[in-house]
Structure 1
């Protein structure tokens, strides 16, 4: 707690490195408009409170810390006379958005501070150091604007890469659906022609009814067909081709693969032969062959369009289109949509292993921004493994870690050297060649996880085993107001 304010000593202020170049009039003004306060061990100010004062340590020990989730994370600790904290950006005015303390400060022993009201500090800075204020404003806002511009550029580059990957992924099933539709049109036309020939032929009514029943059963059999191994399929094709040749049906080797793909065998052909006479058997077989082909083509169209629908759904999940920015989500859905969106970039040389703890509860989060974190971490892991020839294993693991959800990305790349491990989350730090990385991916990820979700982002690395671990709280208070930091 703070005691009664005490007058300050001009001579004492002049010994601080912060004020040693001030003249007598300036020191007198500081003493006149400021004060000295003593604090017992405990908090001096708390993160989020209005930033009303600028504090300069005269004696004692200060600890600066920030709230991360349920924990207080110490940022720095010092006993050096003259160190300062509090509203030290007040001279920037309202544009600095420094209306509240961006951290907390406490003292660990009885301590004395020179305390200057924020408004007074802003006034003396503008009066005494107008050029310095302009330079600091330029540095502060210039750096901030640069970071925002590069941040936006990196997001656009990521969007372009994802769009290219999504287009590639959509092209394959879409092209397959177009091909299957064209082939289906031909088969349906052939079926109509064959049906007309059967109707004009010498078929009894009972025979036609049997053929129609066989057609229905054939369609049902195709829907239930079990995939065969190449060897099993080859053996069955040979048996069917022999059966067709034995019954005088030309080109049996062309019909047999379709019947095998539809899950049909010689027992089924025997049922067809028993339903019609020898003169009409070939026509009935070819008509039923059209039935199998049309069913297989419709299955292919269904599979292709389902794939397209799945990709579109994943894109909506990834972008969180038409969804609230803050919601309770299943992290596995977010991870799956991101992996699907990045599948083209991951490539066939990287094996993806999912180790999901499905008992993990849903968590409150900004899902669109968490997807950006997953994207950055997966992209870095894939890039690292490319250094090993483009092959490796990416393991995505989820688990419950006490009162937090753990999401871990593990790759088999060369690892992060110990000498740079402490800098990888710094803005603009990158190990990629010039033009290939902005150095903001991990910085953005850290700010999204730590600042916005009150979680943590850590790295553990040895050659062949690098793990980025994201921990997110299972519960949260009211959602934070979106900020430029996130």
Structure 2
């Protein structure tokens, strides 16, 4: 409930905001604006169009920001002259013209109220030099943040691309090597088949050999995983068996049979099936078969690894998806881990404590992955490449929590309160822009209406990101 009251220019002059104005300017304010009395309740709502500029004359108000599904109080005051609302209207369409916070009246309050259009007019007409200075400060800082933020994203992308290239190169090179070797083995198989066909083998024996070949190929898929010591012991046993049965260079054949999962019992069945006269030819024919199957498996594994890396890169960048989608947070975390695997290295133990009951939530996937990248990269750097990286997720009321922890030395008490400030960094000159955590904060808080916080002690630093399960009714783009 509101009540409009008469405007007194003399009373306006008692407010610090207006005390230096001329009489005609105060008269203009009274003619264009109004005094309104508000009972306790909502004055303005975060995200609504910023239509008015309010100056408190008396009473008490509280200001809050939306975090997930909660309104978090950020200020409470009864100081005369404090102002809220459309104070940025003088910037026009170059800045977001929405209320940046919600304001509630706690105790009946009187306000001087001026429309956003009139406030902008007064600023431009009365303080043109100040407006130019403020515009330059605001827009210049905005452009500077955008430029440096883009540079940081490009540096991160370059680093991730180098890591991805390295990761892709290994399976690609393995596939090329395996393909070359496979071509050689297939050529030898054709030659061996020609020799067998031109030899003394009858139709029944050839059918037996083909049956053994099929069973040997099937056995490859059932081969057990062996330790190097177990594999060496089995190779010695098979080498002795080949020597006992008069098969030349059996030590060269043994590793292939062991890798394919064939043991002495299996070879005994081969010997009993083909007889001594055909045994060596059959064994060598089977050796080519096994090598071919193993090489094809290697090519398949390499291609699968490449496909997985490309899939992770697509998931990370979200390049084939709309900016805002309902996504699985765990998939985003995993794709980021894949992209950062080279940076993380083998000396960092990654522990995933994922809550399997988490629902998919509406997020900006590519930008949220930038948050995970910043937090994980900082954690690895803090641990100097040695320690434990923990990713923990859980369901908490109307939000989900993602906690990224490290076992590094921790963040100093005099620093922890400033880490989300733009351009603040503890890294040496040239190694950090100081925007990584600022960008993360803006993505989580402004873009997703969530929250990001940190707790730190030596050996236990945790960044907690809190994201709402449901999209807010109003999503205001950060200015």
TM-score surpassing 0.5? yes
- What is the CA distance between 1:361 and its match in structure 2? 1.5
Residue number in structure 2 paired with 1:430: 425
Retained in 1: the 8 A contact 2:54–2:85? yes
TM-score, normalised relative to structure 2: 0.96
Alignment partner, residue 405 of structure 1: 400
Measure the CA separation in 1 of the matches of 2:95 and 2:192.
80
Q: After superposition, where does 1:317-396 map in structure 2 within 5 Å? A: 317-386=315-384, 390-396=385-391
User: In the alignment, does 2:228 pair up with 1:234?
Assistant: no
Tell me the equivalent position of 2:176.
178
**Conserved in 2, the CA contact under 8 Å of 1:207 and 1:275?**
no
SS across alignment from 2:132: helix
Q: How does 1:146-295 map to 2 (within 5 A)?
A: 146-295=144-293
Which structure 2 segments of 5+ residues have no match? none
Q: Which residue of structure 2 aligns with residue 440 of structure 1?
A: 435
Distance 2:258 2:470 in 1: 55
Q: What is the alpha-carbon distance in structure 2 between the residues aligned to residue 301 and residue 479 of structure 1?
A: 50
Q: 1:92–1:137: 8 Å Cα contact kept in structure 2?
A: yes
Q: Which moved more, 1:165-174 or 1:227-236?
A: 227-236
8 A Cα contact 1:221 1:263, kept in partner: yes
Q: Which residue of 2 aligns with 1:474?
A: 469
C-alpha distance in 2, partners of 1:138/1:477?
Answer: 33
Q: Distance in 2 between matches of 1:211 and 1:305?
A: 31
SS at match of 1:442: helix
Cross-structure match for 1:105: 103
Q: Quick one: higher RCO (CA 8 Å, sep 6+), 1 or 2?
A: 2
- Counterpart position of 1:120: 118
The residue number in structure 1 matching 2:48 is 49
User: How far off is 1:479 after superposition?
Assistant: 7.6
TM-superposition CA deviations, 1:147-181 (whole Å, max 9, x none): 11111111111111111111010000000000000
Figure out how many residues of one structure are paired with residues of the other and give that number: 479
Contact 2:68 2:399 in 1 (8 A): no
Aligned to 2:6: 6
When residues 306 and 14 of structure 1 are mapped into structure 2, their CA distance, relative to the original with a 3 A threshold, is: same
Give, in whole Å, the separation in 2 of the partners of 1:94 and 1:288. 76
Q: After TM superposition, give the deviation of residue 461 of structure 1 in Å.
A: 1.1
Q: What is the alpha-carbon distance in structure 1 between the residues aligned to residue 315 and residue 37 of structure 2? A: 54
1:415 offset after TM fit, Å? 1.2
Structure 1 runs, 4 residues or longer, greater than 4 Å off: none
Match of 2:78 in 1: 79
- CA apart distance, 1:480: 3.6
Q: What's the CA shift for 1:227?
A: 1.2
Tell me how far 1:401 sits from its aligned partner: 1.4
Instruction: Give deviations 1:120-160, integer Å, cap 9, x for gaps.
Output: 22222212211111101101110111111111111111111
Q: Distance in 2 between matches of 1:223 and 1:31?
A: 87
d(CA) in 2 for partners of 1:49 and 1:243? Answer: 84
Task: Say if 1:326 and 1:479, in contact at 8 Å, map to a contact too.
Answer: no
Unaligned runs of 5+ in 1: none
SS at match of 1:3: strand
User: Which digits, 9 at most, give the CA deviation of each residue in 1:447-474, with x for residues without a partner?
Assistant: 2212222221111111111111112122
